[in-house]
C-alpha cells in the first residue's frame, strides 16, 4: 500500500513538465482527435465520447466568457456539476482563464 506524502516535506520539482493547462494544450494540439473524456451510459443518457479538440474548444469558449464577465486571477468561481464532461470543461475553462491573465 502506498503512503500519503508528508505535506511538510518540500516537493521535488525536478520532473516538472508544465501546468495542467500547458500539458492539456500540448495533448490537444498533438492528438486532437483522440478520446479525452468518456461519459458513461446511464439509464437516461447514452455513452458519449469527447475528443481533446472538443474539450479544448469548449474550455476556451468558457474561458472567453469568464474573461468577458470580468473574472480574473484571484476571483472565486463556483462550480456546481455532477461528474460529467461539463465538470471537465468547467475546470479546464477556469484554469485556462486564470492562466491567461497571470502576469
| Domain assignment of residue 15, yes or no | no
Q: Which domain holds residue 70?
A: 20-101
Residues in the chain: 103
Rounded to whole angstroms, the Cα distance separating 5 from 74 reads 27
- Burial class, 68, CB count within 10 angstroms (exposed 0-12 / middle 13-18 / buried 19+): exposed
Model confidence over 9-36: pLDDT tens digits?
A: 777 777 777 888 888 999 999 999 999 9
* Confidence (pTM): 0.74
Rounded to whole angstroms, the Cα distance separating 99 from 103 reads 9
Cell of 25: 494544450
Helix (H) or strand (E) holding 44: none
Model confidence over 51-87: pLDDT tens digits?
A: 999 999 999 999 999 889 998 877 888 888 888 899 9
Q: What is the largest CA-CA distance in the chain?
A: 47
Tally of domains in the chain: 1
CATH number at residue 87: 3.40.50.980
- Burial class, 45, CB count within 10 angstroms (exposed 0-12 / middle 13-18 / buried 19+): exposed
| Domain assignment of residue 14, yes or no | no
Amino acid at each position: 500500500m502506498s503512503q500519503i506524502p508528508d505535506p511538510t516535506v518540500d516537493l521535488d520539482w525536478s520532473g516538472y513538465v508544465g501546468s495542467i493547462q500547458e500539458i492539456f494544450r500540448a495533448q490537444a494540439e498533438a492528438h486532437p482527435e483522440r478520446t479525452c473524456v468518456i461519459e458513461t451510459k446511464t439509464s437516461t443518457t447514452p455513452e458519449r465520447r469527447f475528443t481533446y479538440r472538443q474539450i479544448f474548444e469548449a474550455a476556451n469558449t468558457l474561458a472567453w466568457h469568464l474573461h468577458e464577465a470580468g473574472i480574473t486571477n484571484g476571483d472565486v468561481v463556483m462550480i456546481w456539476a455532477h461528474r460529467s464532461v461539463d465538470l471537465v470543461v468547467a475546470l479546464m475553462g477556469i484554469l485556462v482563464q486564470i492562466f491567461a491573465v497571470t502576469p
